[in-house]
Structure 1
């Protein structure tokens, strides 16, 4: 049978009960290098003469799929913002010709032309814009892009993001006006922009045009935050936006399905940091606040009104109740009050503990947290004040800081990352000792300051955990600081064996398509099967997004014609035959003897989980590995009978065993994963009728270990 020395699935031509004596051919002899992507050889559109097939001593077979679509072009990523920096997130991703803008943010550390992404770099039109969450560094430039630059296409974001984004944008505009700064958009622009937004649910399949599919997944981070999966033809990717791999007091951890991906674009805010446990940070926070107010001091917590504020409200509310404290806790604006109302109505997006308390009491009904008035800035006595914006970038938080900073008894608590260029960043780094007041007099900074990470961003461990779970072919880092991104990039490439990119703003990353085009003749039966329509019906909006089953929605008819063939190569000539013709072809080539087709694959697994599981069960050897896998597969596939035959597992025609043959022709030449962990190869084979089941099992084994 044919053996190709790469991670592609191999097919063998076998006689029943006896393997035919066919010579093996390495990938050096046969120009099929794109199969190293681990995919089936695919035909897209017309079959193009790209490869020349060498003469073979006997026929070999490859399964192919033919779709009526344009030739694949791969993935291109143009970084307009958050390239080797944190701020103004904006990435243009082109997937097989379809172009998506992920996020459209502003940089809060700049007030000049550097505040907005450079939209002049966009060459051509966009098919859609997707916003991951409501933070200004991800949505702040959207009103400018739609109402001033003139983008008028589809815009997608989750329901909570659409509800909360206008509050953030309007609050930012109000603060800018208060500082005498003229922004590039108005309140009317915000309103007009949000009317163009189509809200989406998690895991809702959205069809944009004929070819692009997008789907949102829960990201944690803030209410409504989403990771976004996008697919065009055989190319797919995930843009994470900001996410959190650990749950907090009001949100759950990020959740995403195992997916077959060419690329993951991930944030890297904490590229080299493994943060303290959440409970350790909470203890330090509560102790610092308690010590300050007991000593008669005032605590300023600069934070944006949405997200982290709600997290800390719940923490202090619980602590004040337990300690029976009477010191007032203030929040600074009507924005926070509005936000709390939205949080109450969007409770389904919070974590399980919050949902479970709804029946008894709403976690956002806060007894100790009350509204603040500017006249109370210099009121005597201790207090705790949440003031926006975060990072001391202006507004009330900066005004209060100037009043409270000269006193050694007061405390400024910075609860998250501060962007370079902001006063918060200078204070946290110890570089701020003096500040000018509004009357140009100098203010001595004598107050204490504590910077604790209550950030809702994942840390370096979380980034690696997500990438290892998704196992993409490529990774790209954004939303981080260059030196730390460089370290994480090397770690990803070393441990996962994949290419990782960290482009600057204006940088372009090109990921070629794994598609291979082959010239081949086709049989009449196969040609007729490709002409058979495969209609599907859906009700869509005018923008193409699948919204509901409402009978009033327009009806869209899609003809997704897919033809599957066997690429039969004999004597240096390739022919595509219908699967129903395959048995006849094999009988002819096998001189009248009955033949069957087996698919074969040998793949490596590096996994501490597998080693830990066998150790826990007190097992060793290949049979112990198969026993662990049998338990795992029985759990993952309860609808099928997983039989443990001792030396191999069997599910229908699918057979899986531990491979000890170092020269196995089905084996991958590359072994991804952490080199410090043990590598085990698994060899498997299956018949054509169990193809989908086999691929599902292989994918599950790889993703669950």
Structure 2
């Protein structure tokens, strides 16, 4: 089995792994000031997508001139298609040249075969199975077995702990090769209940003094989880942005949700906002959950523009802030670029760890479990310290481990 790493090598973003020049697992982009794409030159016969986030899915429509067969779970298809359409809308509005067009997007929809988790299928000479990866609704790890019975397990983005939105990943199959994400290697997540309590206390403290809370949240996964958390504590919120459309998609696939009844209740109890209705929101003792999660565009900038001089208010970040984004600038300097205007933020800026990825302990336990069951080669990717993770595997477990460089090829 030959592996070529086209992206997410010693970095977070633009995940892409090519198997035997035939199967492409993920094909994403890295967001930020300058978007980064996977290395080009691949001509896969099939594409296997782990989940909808654009750092895994964002460049797949660019492959449609090759007419590959594309496979993913039903919610992943709906969410990916939503994001791809939004990417085209933004490019058109800003006069940019996207890497794909509406024809490519139509081909993407036509070429995609939707496959539920746990269903085994045969793809261009390989046995393939998608298995629940936790993380977000529809997210899957991918198990591949070739004609010589060599097997590969690709985690994509994985979470073995339950969240309010999705159940954690369990029951991994034996595999000769493991390709694992490394996002939080070396970093432990604090207990989720403690994070939720501190978050809710902070929101309530702000409301009690007449301030408002702006909660930038990723459209897929984080918006829905935060709404469920707020609802559990009886806090009614406004919700704006693409997270509303993502919620409606998720409800069409209740079998991929931890508690679809509570998710629906949380959105029923929230006030949905869009477009001209934003001006009618009373920005005093209000909670607004809105995209974009890294403050790069989206309705969040409208709300910040209204509140950035108010020291009683807060901006509560709920996700990882990539270098070069407005969110990272806000954390590092207290400033953001709001439509070309540099604004100094007087609201307090806080960040809480609501990560949908496994932390250090869970990653190590997963790798050790695979190796105890026969895994002989481990590849670490999608992280800031992939080399450190590979060294840990070699030193602590005694199994061959590699942190691939961009474009590096391996024959197993």
1:445 correspondence with 2:345: yes
Q: Does 1:469 align with 2:353?
A: no
CA–CA separation in structure 2 for the residues paired with 1:460 and 1:263: 20
Whether 1:411 aligns to 2:309 is no
2:381 maps to: 478
Instruction: Please point out which of 121, 128, 138 is paired with 2:56.
Output: 138
SS at match of 2:233: helix
Query: CA contact under 8 A between 1:175 and 1:394: conserved in structure 2?
Result: no
Report how far residue 423 of structure 1 moved: 1.2
The answer on 1:234 being equivalent to 2:149 is yes
Is it true that 1:103 corresponds to 2:13 in the alignment?
A: no
- 2:108 is the counterpart of 1:193: yes
Counterpart pick for 1:344 among 251, 255, 265: 251
* CA offset digits 1:440-494 (Å, max 9, x no partner): 554222221111111101111111111122221111111101xx22222221111
Q: Assess if the C-alpha contact under 8 Å between 1:108 and 1:393 holds in 2.
A: no
- Tell me if the contact between 1:317 and 1:367 (Cα under 8 Å) persists in the aligned partners: no
> What are the within-5 Å matches in structure 2 for residues 305-344 of structure 1?
305-320=219-234, 328-333=236-241, 335-344=242-251
The whole-number CA distance in structure 2 between the counterparts of 1:283 and 1:449 is 17
Map residues 147-166 of structure 1 onto 2, 5 A cutoff.
Answer: 150-166=65-81
For 1:135 and 1:348, how far apart are their aligned partners in 2? 20
The alpha-carbon distance between structure 1 residues 464 and 362, as it changes in their structure 2 partners (threshold 3 A), is closer
Which of the residues 300, 314, 339 maps onto 1:397? 300
Paired residue for 1:69? none
Matched, 1:129 2:29: no
C-alpha change, 1:441 and 1:270, in structure 2 (3 Å) is closer
Matches within 5 A, 1:491-506: 491-506=392-407
Q: Give me the whole-angstrom Cα distance separating, in 2, the residues matched to 1:258 and 1:199.
A: 22
2:294–2:326: 8 Å Cα contact kept in structure 1?
yes
- Tell me the equivalent position of 1:381: 284
- Structure 1 stretches of 5 or more lacking a match? 1-74, 512-705
Shift of 1:127: 3.1
Aligned residue number for residue 40 of structure 2: 119
Q: 2:143, 2:151 within 8 Å by CA — same for their partners in 1?
A: yes
Q: Report the secondary structure of 1:390's partner residue.
A: coil
What is the CA deviation profile of residues 304-350 of structure 1, one whole-angstrom value per residue up to 9, with x for unaligned ones? 22211111111101112xxxx5xx511113x3333222222211112
**Separation in 2 of the partners of 1:452 and 1:505?**
31
TM-superposed CA distance for 1:392, in Å, is 1.0
* Residues 361-398 of structure 1, C-alpha deviations (whole Å, 9 max, x = no match): 76445343111245535744121112212211222223
With over 3 angstroms needed to count, the CA separation of the structure-2 counterparts of 1:256 and 1:381, relative to structure 1, is same
Contact 2:137/2:166, CA 8 A, preserved across alignment = yes
Give me the whole-angstrom Cα distance separating, in 1, the residues matched to 2:224 and 2:6: 31
The match for 1:297 among 180, 202, 211 is: 211
What is the SS of the residue equivalent to 1:173? helix
Deviations 1:616-666 (A, max 9, x none): xxxxxxxxxxxxxxxxxxxxxxxxxxxxxxxxxxxxxxxxxxxxxxxxxxx
- The answer (yes or no) to whether the contact 1:343–1:364 under 8 Å persists in 2 is no
In structure 1, distance between residues paired with 2:152 and 2:344: 50
Question: Which of 483, 507, 520 lines up with 2:408 in the alignment?
Answer: 507
| Structure 1 residue 406 displacement after superposition | 2.8
Q: Which residue of 2 aligns with 1:272?
A: 186
1:82 corresponds to 2:82: no
Matched, 1:169 2:84: yes
Q: Distance in 2 between matches of 1:187 and 1:379?
A: 39
RMSD of Structure 2 on Structure 1 (CA): 2.1
Cα distance in 2 for partners of 1:504, 1:413 equals 35
Structure 2 contact 129–144 (Cα < 8 Å) conserved: yes
Helix, strand or coil at the partner of 2:134: coil
1:437 Cα offset (Å): 4.5
Measure the CA separation in 1 of the matches of 2:337 and 2:218: 23
Q: Size of the alignment, in residue pairs?
A: 406
**1:305, 1:388 within 8 Å by CA — same for their partners in 2?**
yes
Conservation of the 8 A alpha-carbon contact between 2:228 and 2:263: no
State the distance in 2 between where 1:350 and 1:181 align: 36
After TM superposition, give the deviation of residue 407 of structure 1 in Å: 2.2
Give deviations 1:202-260, integer Å, cap 9, x for gaps.
12111123x3111111101000000000011131111110010100112111023341x
1:252 aligns with 2:167: yes
Once residues 224 and 97 of structure 2 are traced to their aligned partners in structure 1, the CA distance between those partners, rounded to angstroms, is: 30
Conserved 8 A contact 1:258-1:469: no
The whole-number CA distance in structure 2 between the counterparts of 1:294 and 1:191 is 50
